[in-house]
Structure 1
Amino acid sequence: MRILIVEDEKKLAGFMRQGLSQAGYPVEVCNDGSEALELAVKNDFDLILLDLMLPGINGFDFIKNLRVFGAETPVIIISAIVDSRQVVEGLNLGAVDYIRKPFEWDELLARIRTVSRFSSRSVQQKIRIEDLEIDIPSRKVKRGGSEIELTSKEFILLEYLARNANLVLTKNQLLENAWNMNFDPESNIVEVYMHQLRKKIDKGFETQLIKTVIGAGYMLKGNKS
């Protein structure tokens, strides 16, 4: 279950990211409502944990626009707001649950498990970018019709890049989401695996899909179908 945390309180967002990553959930964090909306519309998240008071656009407008763009991702509101009218407004707009801050960690995990069990949203099973095909259940990868053998970690890394195709992913994001590790500026594990992955995915092909964005991170670039 892939989760997007939309929270402008960076300390809380970091705490949530770390806890959910340790619980086995791939996690993205965004601190701005407008940027989070763009991220949510373009990517396949299974759940959004949403604060209401945000820079950019607030949580209410986030939910409205999310539905306008046709995204049916379940949203759990996490807010310090206690006005029942505003809570009801958020639920009426399409949120599936509301948790009041400060919250108990076990309660949050229980609410997430409930959404996971009862959500009717189907998980994307196959991803195709240009001539690259990724079959998630079988963990098989093909490019140009030829099968490519990847290690378990290489597959996890490629899947994460593919689900975020055409977005620049930082070294920190790759460590936290593909390795569930905290950022270590001295570690070169990302560079090593990206080098190996690029050799397997791009070597021998005219179009290079895996891009290094100097000073920023990495990106899997191509048309997604």
Structure 2
Amino acid sequence: MSSRGSTFAAFGTAVALLTLTACSSATTGTASGPAGAVPVAVATSSPDAGAPPGAEILGRPGVGEPFTLTIGATDTARPDKFEVTVEEVRCGEPLDPAVVAHAAESVGEPTPTPTPEGGKQYCVVALEVLNVGRSEAIWSAGDVVTLNVDDTAYSQSLADADHAYDYRQYWYSKGKAAPSFGLNPGSTGPDFGIFQIPADDEPTTVWVSSGTSLESFDGPEPGYLVQLTPTD
């Protein structure tokens, strides 16, 4: 699949999303992040595959279906709240040439064309984030999102995080500030995650934590398991 792009659309309703159908066999690839693949639920036939073991799954929306994250203590007067929508997951294509050109422009010199690690492909996760809280707040997909192939979760490497930052800067130049720059109540902005998965694989879910990281001292943070594959 390395030479073709794949865009995953929303499938079914929340009721239909209770059973996950794997679109490819389980893989033994390692994560692109320096710490390796994040542990996830073991059974690929489980609807929980892709979520950290023991994590509370708050919902299983599809692509294009919004869900609400409440960040921080819910008993505070003004907890940060965001309505997040995974708009698209695109794999097997080079990073956006306009983004790459803008990044080169910003440093004032040519830069090498980004290429994935050997045997891997880029996947770009595009999200839309709306501040539905009561005060200005900051949010970023960087530390709270994994892209999963069945029961294997992939995090962003440092290089991937730099590319995601380039996407945010590009859209900021177009007048669309990312939530990592701060959003006022009622304001919306795009965010991005860049991941590398094996070239022959297709992602099945996206895990989005409702905390400021994937795990806290008490264990995995709760989150949403966004479905990318058709369900029965």
TM-score, normalised via structure 1 length: 0.26
Greater Rg by CA: 1
Going by fraction, where is strand more abundant, 1 or 2?
A: 2
TM-score, normalised via structure 2 length: 0.26
Structure number with greater CO (CA < 8 Å, separation at least 6) is 2
